[in-house]
Structure 1
Amino acid sequence: MKTINFAIDLGTTNSLIAKYDDGNIKIYNNPLGLKQTLPSCIAFRGNRTVIGDKALDYLEKDAENICMLFKRKMGTQDTYFVPSIDKEMSPIELSSLILKELKNFVNDEESLGSVVITIPASFDTIQSNATKKAGYMAGFKEVVLLQEPIAACLAFANTSHIEVDEKQNWIVYDFGGGTFDVALVEVNDRELKVTDNLGDNYLGGADFDNLIVEHLIVPFIEEKLKLTNLWKDLKSKESQFKGLYFELLKIAEEAKKELSHYEETEIELDIDINNTNFYEQFSIKREQFEGLISPKVEQTIVFIQDVIKNNQLLNSQIDRVILIGGSTYVPLIKKRIAEAIGVEVNSSIDPTSAVVHGAAYYAGSKPASILNEVDGKEEKEDSGKELLDVKLFYEQNTRDLEELLSGKINSKAVNSFRIMRKDGGYDSGVKTLEDRGFSEFVPLLEGRLNQFKIQLLNEALDVVKTLDSVSINQGSYNVQGQPLPNDICMEVDDLDASATRLEKVFAKGSILPLKKKIYKTASKTILQQSKSNLIINIIEGKSKGLPSSGLSIGYIELSGKDLNEDLIKGTDIEIEIEVTESRDLKINIFLQSCDQEFKNVFSESERAISISKINMEINTVLGDVEDLIKSNNSEENFEYSQQLETIRVGLIETQIAASLIDNNDVSDAKFQLDDKKRKLIQDFDDLTRNKVIAREIEEYSDTKLSLEYHLNKEENERFQDKYKRIIKNEREVVNSGNKYLIRSKIKELDELYDSIIQSSDENFISYFLNLKFCENFSNQRKADRLFKQGDQAMEKQDYKSLRYIVYGLSALLPDNEKEKQKNFKDDSRTGLS
């Protein structure tokens, strides 16, 4: 079984490539500079493209033709205009050039058809798809994505030789050049499992560089040259200072590195500005630098505290913090982590190469799904013989001293098998196949790469085929799959609210790949050839949030013109949703009543972000926030009002910051603001949802209390079993924080209540008396007449007549009338319920 073996850390500022080779990891050096890292920087020099360190050298000479930091724009429609080639380059195209250059580092004869590429754990589906697309554009035929914290853990666990006898909790703190992730990892004596993660795709060392430029370098230049608005002009695609922004970022990065080792550094500016050479020097102290970056560092500390708190852990239950990413060289980071959570901070592995090191371990255990060129030739030469399809199953890396080796064989020509360890220390002998397969525990040499040869034999014990590529590395950790970084949800109708809501399909943390069948009913009738639509919208984001706060990753719209038959309201719709390990989304829809199937595979790699869109979405929420503040102030609910005020101020600040940015801004500012906007909207949703849920829980308790009053009557004892089934999981439902679950439980109790009431005419007495407290019937004269008839029926103890009088009064209730009218109105939006 051929494994992928090759891995790439595609970084914001630096990238690396490594190979798993017989239990060892080889990180390739750049043939030109003999460095392991390749700066993720590209220079365009007419018909010549320069990548890496040489490209950085051109920053001083030709900065406007340099592209860098493009990983932060993966998954967006932003492009980089390159005057030298008169062309817009996308982040995907630029990333593919980095990947191609890394392929040139490998001088082995082996073909690179498959590769593992690492991504931040908080990358959404669109960013992940963009990374895969860059891999395919670079010429790889198979691209498998791996989350960076998993890779880092594999590197640490497999190189530090630590012994874990009982379960431990590790925190991986990944602060790279462009992104930040914190992951909670559960480790035992056999494997690693990422249980939770949080992160920010627009928080990294590049932000430290930006702060130095904005608050130290730019004010210095403005003062010396008597300039204004230099910071804004620097970042504009159409500015007279084209390329100077990236040149100053490079100078700031060097200063940052110096200040990670020394208390003070000298910034030397030798730049062309306004057609004149500007040469000046000034000093920066570490204290100044730390004052600038402190708010960003504190953001990362909050992420650590949140991931610990969200998993009901104490700081004392975290066994170690593993630092990876170049930004962790900054002394303030180690200091703040130690102060905030008091846990051992481990930087024993090289933070710049840990990710590719661990990814290579993963690549060495991941079967390749394609044949390389050599394999293809061998298969072709052997095409005259019967092609044996053999599938092997075993762990490439294990902590156990024996491993289960299993195989399935499709040929009747094979009757038996024999497994031998290549050092001669183990031989299974010839054994007969069972059900066209075999399973055998093979002993392993401790701390070594164990290689095995498997012979497949016919009835005459002649060797039909030999498999000699089975390698098991004893003493290495394996990983229990990759977790889903966000909930995957489906948008469905909430007919009670004339809106839509999210219904969770896969929960955050579920191990990829995932597949699920969902059965829904049509919430409206769609006539053949009509313009009515059935919408399947799959959203990535918090399942408890508003649909607008998530990210649409798969959208299918079916109209009446797509149907062979009418889709009748209430008929079944079968939806199969699959998410692959590399985050491809597959949707399959089956309409039973029409006997039709629709399917699609989604791998969206771009999304548009505009300043006007950010402002529009803020305005939509801002009005609701301000209305709630007013109503809570009038009710003297000042504490709740203050929480809303904090969100309002955050939204306004975001809107002001967005209004100061041009759409042609080349920095990451609008992406950071879009991220901030989404989080503020989620905060608002969380805050208001808590009040709604409190009301729903209160209504649930009242409904339950009223129902129990009737259940305690002897004649209603037969309803007890059904009642117990309804409330069986009430703790789980009430604590879920999901208003739709609680509402559905209230509905079940209401239906049981109605059944009890209608089971006996006498039960309508209390119902009738309660109706007397109601006011504003739709037809008051008719209501008065029914009340008079009801009083007469009570006197005569004619409870059968009383039942129909109650029905008549209920129909006159305004809310009931509205509900009645609503049944005839099409409030469905998606067509799913």
Structure 2
Amino acid sequence: MKTINFAIDLGTTNSLIAKYDDGNIKIYNNPLGLKQTLPSCVAFRGNRTVIGDKALDYLEKDAENICMLFKRKMGTQDTYEIPVIDKELTPIELSSLILKELKNFVNDEENLNSVVITIPASFDTIQSNATKKAGYMAGFQEVVLLQEPIAACLAFANTSNLDITHKEHWIVYDFGGGTFDVALVEVNDRELNVRDNLGDNYLGGADFDNLIVEHIIVPFIEEKLGIENLWKSLKSKTTQYKGLYFELLKLAEEAKKELSHYEETEIELDIDIHDTNVFEQLLIKREQFENLISPKVEQTVTLIQDVISNNQLLNSQIARVILIGGSTYVPVIKKRISEAIGVEVNNAIDPTSAVVLGAAYYAGSKPSTVTESPLEQDKSQVETVEVKLFYEQNTRDTEELISGKVSSDKVSSFRLMRKDGGYDSGVKTLEDGSFSEFVPLLEGRLNQFKIQFLSSELDVLKVMDAVAINQGSYNVQGQPLPNDICMEVDDLDASTTRLERIFAKGSILPLRKKIYKTASKTILQKSKSNLIINIIEGQAKGLPSSGLSIGYIEISGMDLEEDLIKGTDIEIEIEVTESRDLKINVFLQSCDQEFNNVFSESERAISIAKINLEINTVLGDVEALIKTHNSEENFEYSQKLETIRVGLIETQIAASLIDDDDVSDSKFQLDDKKRKFIQEFDDLTRNKLIAKEIEEYNDAKATLERHLNDDSNERFRDKYARMIKNEKEVINSGNKYLIRSKIKEMDELYDAIIQSSDENFISYFLNLKFCTEFSNQRRADKLFKQGDQALEKQDYKSLRHIVYGLSALLPDYEKEKQKNFKDDSRTGLG
């Protein structure tokens, strides 16, 4: 079994490559300059492409043909215009150039076909797919993604002399050049698992540089030259000041580094602008810089507190905070975390190389699927031989038990060998089809074993050689899903669509699930009606519009060989791989047809117009609710809504100030901000709706209990007891659809109790007298008269049929609601 071994930290500002080699990690140096880090910068010089430090040298001379910070635009449709080659390149294409350059660092004799590439934990599926695509474009045949906080934990755990005797919780604080992640990690004496993470893909050290340029350097230049709007001009795609912008960013970055060590620094400005030379000294104090970046730092502190509280933990239960990422060199960050969390902040590991170091440990334990030949792979000459193996994949012990159960009676013995030749069990007889063997392990290494299963004639019937035990070094149980994965389904009761969770946030990848739905509408063969399978990444409790569509299958009536009848079964199998590929298989039983697709979307479009439209849509609802609650004097709730309203308006104003040709990532930051405000509104209103559903639940329960007495049918009492058995779980679920389903169950049981006795229809009849609308009033009046007569005679059997007749004349509001739920708004999934 060959492992991947190679790992790349594809960073916003710097990238690195490393290799796992027999328990040791080698970080490769750039052959030119011998630095470990490669600046993620690409310059185009005629027919030459220059990458890294040399590309940075051209910043002042030829800025319009230089590309930087493109990781922050991974997964978007934005492109970079390169005049010298008359082309526009995508972030994926530019990232692939960085990856190709890193491959050149490796001068080993072997082929580099497989690699682990790290990504921020908060990268969505589209951004993850974009990273994989860049890897394949760079020539790798196999690309496995690893979340950066996991990599950092592996680096810390495997390079520190840890003595962990019980479960601990760590916080990994990853503040890089362009992205921020915070992860909650659970560690024991064998392995570590990421329990939760939060992040911001548009928050990093580059934002500090931009703040210095926008709020310190640019106002200084404007004052000296008596000009305005320089900052806006610097960010324009067609700006003549692109070279100046990069030059100022470079000065800002140098000032930021200086202020990490000294109380003040001096910037020397020597620039030409508006045919005027500006040669000035600009003094910046650390206090001025810290005040400037304070809101950004507070954003990260809030995310730390959120990830702790979301998992019902206290600050005192966090054993340590691990700092990684170049931005953590800024002293105020460590200070602010210590103040806010009150926990030891550990910066013992190099923040710059921690991610690639940990990723290499992971790559050293990850089997490669590319380079194995059929003879090397787990194989069986007898297909009926099945073996269940049991062993610890990670251990601190120097020996470990490998055991198993064999299904075939043709197998009579086994032989277990360590691949380095240091251990061979010899041929041993199975006992009742089972075996167990303690095997010695090489310390600090990945121990690989081969197991042969033999017949009584010692013919090899099956070979298993994908058995590996990691001794002494930490590994991960698996990578967690960073967001819920949901499916959009029809909510016929509410005449809208809702999200139904398939996989919960935090579930360990890979994942696979088969679910069964029913068709919520009839789709005739050759019609234009559609069945829609829309898979969405985002909070399951949220609105479908607040999530990100990552897989979309549309099955038209034109695709059907038979009519799809409402109520028939639809079988949907969904799989998410470890690297977040999405596979969907749909089987329509009534049509005997199958549809499938593999989704790896690597781009999404974001426009200012779309941001404004979505804000306007929500603003209308927010303002209407504020008006309602003010009239009811519910001012506390109104104030919460007002905060969201102001936030949305401020976001809209900021969006309106962005020009169409703005090349910064401001619009992506605003889109992220907009989504967070919409989710806040959704959470706030959902809590109100849930409170209403709980009230209805309690009313339905009270009504039911009034009719359940000692004389009631025992079957009804048993059914009710089963119904409320998991009441606490239902009420606390925060899921209005689950609560509503319980209300429906109670209503159905109430109806069953009423209908079990003719006398129970008296209250039904009397309640109907309060109804004012009937589809046929003359017929209703006649039935009421007959009902009064039946009551006088105590003819309750006749009264039952009169009640049925009156009920049939009531308006069908549900049908009316569903009539308004237009066919093209439905998914077709019930």
Q: CA deviation at 1:773?
A: 3.1
Q: Which residue of 2 aligns with 1:147?
A: 147
* Aligned CA distance change for structure 1 residues 523 and 333 (closer, same or farther; 3 Å): same
Structure 1 residues 156-195: aligned runs within 5 Å: 156-195=156-195
Q: CA deviation at 1:779?
A: 4.5
Structure 1 residues 72-83: aligned runs within 5 Å: 72-83=72-83
- CA deviation map 1:780-812 (0-9, x unaligned): 454343333222211111111111222233334
1:637 aligns with 2:634: yes
Looking at structure 2, the residues matched to 408 and 97 of structure 1 have their Cα atoms a distance apart, in angstroms, of: 49
Looking at structure 2, the residues matched to 471 and 108 of structure 1 have their Cα atoms a distance apart, in angstroms, of: 25
Q: Which residue of 2 aligns with 1:648?
A: 645
Q: Which residue of 1 aligns with 2:2?
A: 2
* Aligned CA distance change for structure 1 residues 748 and 42 (closer, same or farther; 3 Å): same
Determine which of 611, 616, 625 is the counterpart of 2:613. Answer: 616
Determine which of 771, 789, 793 is the counterpart of 2:768. Answer: 771
Q: Secondary structure at the match of 2:60?
A: helix
Determine which of 568, 576, 581 is the counterpart of 1:579. Answer: 576
Q: CA deviation at 1:206?
A: 0.9
1:806 aligns with 2:803: yes
8 Å Cα contact 1:190-1:400 kept in structure 2: no
- CA deviation map 1:735-779 (0-9, x unaligned): 111111111111111111111111111111111222233334455
Looking at structure 1, the residues matched to 504 and 345 of structure 2 have their Cα atoms a distance apart, in angstroms, of: 30
Q: Which residue of 2 aligns with 1:210?
A: 210
Q: Which residue of 2 aligns with 1:86?
A: 86
Q: Which moved more, 1:750-759 or 1:598-607?
A: 750-759
Determine which of 746, 764, 767 is the counterpart of 2:743. Answer: 746
Q: Which residue of 1 aligns with 2:258?
A: 258
* Aligned CA distance change for structure 1 residues 820 and 806 (closer, same or farther; 3 Å): farther
Q: Which residue of 2 aligns with 1:792?
A: 789
Q: Secondary structure at the match of 1:61?
A: coil
Q: Which residue of 2 aligns with 1:489?
A: 486
Relative to the length of structure 1, the TM-score reads: 0.93
Determine which of 592, 596, 599 is the counterpart of 1:595. Answer: 592
**One-letter amino acid matched to 1:231:** W
- CA deviation map 1:534-553 (0-9, x unaligned): 00000000000000000000
**One-letter amino acid matched to 1:647:** I
* Aligned CA distance change for structure 1 residues 275 and 587 (closer, same or farther; 3 Å): farther
**One-letter amino acid matched to 2:12:** T
Q: Secondary structure at the match of 1:530?
A: coil
Where in structure 2 are there 5+ consecutive unaligned residues? Answer: none
- How large is the Cα RMSD of the aligned pairs? 2.9
1:679 aligns with 2:658: no
- CA deviation map 1:586-625 (0-9, x unaligned): 0000000000000000000000000000001111111010
Q: Secondary structure at the match of 1:18?
A: strand
Q: Which residue of 2 aligns with 1:693?
A: 690
- CA deviation map 1:332-383 (0-9, x unaligned): 11111111110010111011111111010100000000117xx79x989xxx
* Aligned CA distance change for structure 1 residues 620 and 39 (closer, same or farther; 3 Å): same
8 Å Cα contact 1:364-1:396 kept in structure 2: no
8 Å Cα contact 1:565-1:594 kept in structure 2: yes
Q: CA deviation at 1:393?
A: 8.8
Q: Secondary structure at the match of 1:512?
A: coil
Looking at structure 2, the residues matched to 740 and 811 of structure 1 have their Cα atoms a distance apart, in angstroms, of: 27
Looking at structure 2, the residues matched to 36 and 182 of structure 1 have their Cα atoms a distance apart, in angstroms, of: 25
* Aligned CA distance change for structure 1 residues 231 and 438 (closer, same or farther; 3 Å): farther
Q: CA deviation at 1:822?
A: 5.1
* Aligned CA distance change for structure 1 residues 304 and 794 (closer, same or farther; 3 Å): same
Q: Which residue of 1 aligns with 2:524?
A: 527
**One-letter amino acid matched to 1:800:** K
Looking at structure 2, the residues matched to 355 and 46 of structure 1 have their Cα atoms a distance apart, in angstroms, of: 35
**One-letter amino acid matched to 2:813:** K
Structure 1 residues 244-255: aligned runs within 5 Å: 244-255=244-255
- CA deviation map 1:379-413 (0-9, x unaligned): 89xxxx999x9999976653233234579999999
**One-letter amino acid matched to 1:769:** L
Looking at structure 2, the residues matched to 530 and 351 of structure 1 have their Cα atoms a distance apart, in angstroms, of: 59
Q: Secondary structure at the match of 2:84?
A: coil
Q: CA deviation at 1:430?
A: 2.9
1:556 aligns with 2:553: yes
**One-letter amino acid matched to 1:705:** A
**One-letter amino acid matched to 1:319:** A
**One-letter amino acid matched to 1:18:** A
1:127 aligns with 2:127: yes
* Aligned CA distance change for structure 1 residues 212 and 409 (closer, same or farther; 3 Å): farther
Looking at structure 1, the residues matched to 84 and 754 of structure 2 have their Cα atoms a distance apart, in angstroms, of: 82
Q: Which residue of 1 aligns with 2:533?
A: 536
8 Å Cα contact 1:51-1:101 kept in structure 2: yes
**One-letter amino acid matched to 1:663:** D
Q: Secondary structure at the match of 2:597?
A: strand
1:304 aligns with 2:299: no
Q: CA deviation at 1:228?
A: 1.1
Q: Which moved more, 1:620-629 or 1:243-252?
A: 243-252
- CA deviation map 1:83-105 (0-9, x unaligned): 12111110000000000010011
Looking at structure 2, the residues matched to 42 and 788 of structure 1 have their Cα atoms a distance apart, in angstroms, of: 89
1:570 aligns with 2:567: yes
1:818 aligns with 2:808: no
**One-letter amino acid matched to 1:583:** R
Q: CA deviation at 1:727?
A: 1.8
Looking at structure 2, the residues matched to 465 and 278 of structure 1 have their Cα atoms a distance apart, in angstroms, of: 78
Q: CA deviation at 1:446?
A: 4.6
* Aligned CA distance change for structure 1 residues 404 and 128 (closer, same or farther; 3 Å): farther
Q: Which residue of 2 aligns with 1:234?
A: 234
Looking at structure 2, the residues matched to 414 and 754 of structure 1 have their Cα atoms a distance apart, in angstroms, of: 63
Looking at structure 1, the residues matched to 504 and 670 of structure 2 have their Cα atoms a distance apart, in angstroms, of: 27
Looking at structure 1, the residues matched to 53 and 770 of structure 2 have their Cα atoms a distance apart, in angstroms, of: 82
Relative to the length of structure 2, the TM-score reads: 0.94
Looking at structure 1, the residues matched to 455 and 779 of structure 2 have their Cα atoms a distance apart, in angstroms, of: 92
8 Å Cα contact 1:490-1:536 kept in structure 2: yes
Q: Which residue of 2 aligns with 1:269?
A: 269
**One-letter amino acid matched to 1:154:** L
Q: Which residue of 2 aligns with 1:219?
A: 219
Looking at structure 2, the residues matched to 804 and 341 of structure 1 have their Cα atoms a distance apart, in angstroms, of: 69
* Aligned CA distance change for structure 1 residues 714 and 44 (closer, same or farther; 3 Å): same
Looking at structure 2, the residues matched to 427 and 132 of structure 1 have their Cα atoms a distance apart, in angstroms, of: 40
Q: Secondary structure at the match of 1:59?
A: coil
Q: CA deviation at 1:273?
A: 2.6
1:51 aligns with 2:46: no
Looking at structure 1, the residues matched to 418 and 153 of structure 2 have their Cα atoms a distance apart, in angstroms, of: 32
Q: Which moved more, 1:295-304 or 1:763-772?
A: 763-772
Q: CA deviation at 1:824?
A: 6.7
Structure 1 residues 487-526: aligned runs within 5 Å: 487-526=484-523
1:39 aligns with 2:39: yes
Determine which of 684, 700, 723 is the counterpart of 1:726. Answer: 723
* Aligned CA distance change for structure 1 residues 491 and 761 (closer, same or farther; 3 Å): same
How many residues align structurally?
Answer: 822
Q: CA deviation at 1:448?
A: 5.8
Q: Secondary structure at the match of 1:193?
A: strand
Q: Which residue of 2 aligns with 1:417?
A: 415
8 Å Cα contact 1:96-1:137 kept in structure 2: yes
Q: Which residue of 1 aligns with 2:425?
A: 428
Looking at structure 2, the residues matched to 204 and 671 of structure 1 have their Cα atoms a distance apart, in angstroms, of: 14
Q: Which moved more, 1:551-560 or 1:759-768?
A: 759-768
Looking at structure 2, the residues matched to 590 and 449 of structure 1 have their Cα atoms a distance apart, in angstroms, of: 42
- CA deviation map 1:54-105 (0-9, x unaligned): 1111112111111000000000000111112111110000000000010011
Q: Which residue of 1 aligns with 2:343?
A: 343
**One-letter amino acid matched to 1:789:** Q
**One-letter amino acid matched to 1:803:** R
8 Å Cα contact 1:60-1:271 kept in structure 2: no
* Aligned CA distance change for structure 1 residues 446 and 509 (closer, same or farther; 3 Å): same
Looking at structure 2, the residues matched to 587 and 464 of structure 1 have their Cα atoms a distance apart, in angstroms, of: 35
8 Å Cα contact 1:446-1:474 kept in structure 2: yes
Looking at structure 1, the residues matched to 585 and 195 of structure 2 have their Cα atoms a distance apart, in angstroms, of: 29
1:283 aligns with 2:283: yes
**One-letter amino acid matched to 2:621:** D
Determine which of 667, 683, 706 is the counterpart of 1:670. Answer: 667
Q: Quick one: percent identity of the two aligned structures? A: 83
Q: Secondary structure at the match of 2:3?
A: coil
8 Å Cα contact 1:513-1:579 kept in structure 2: yes
Q: Secondary structure at the match of 1:281?
A: strand
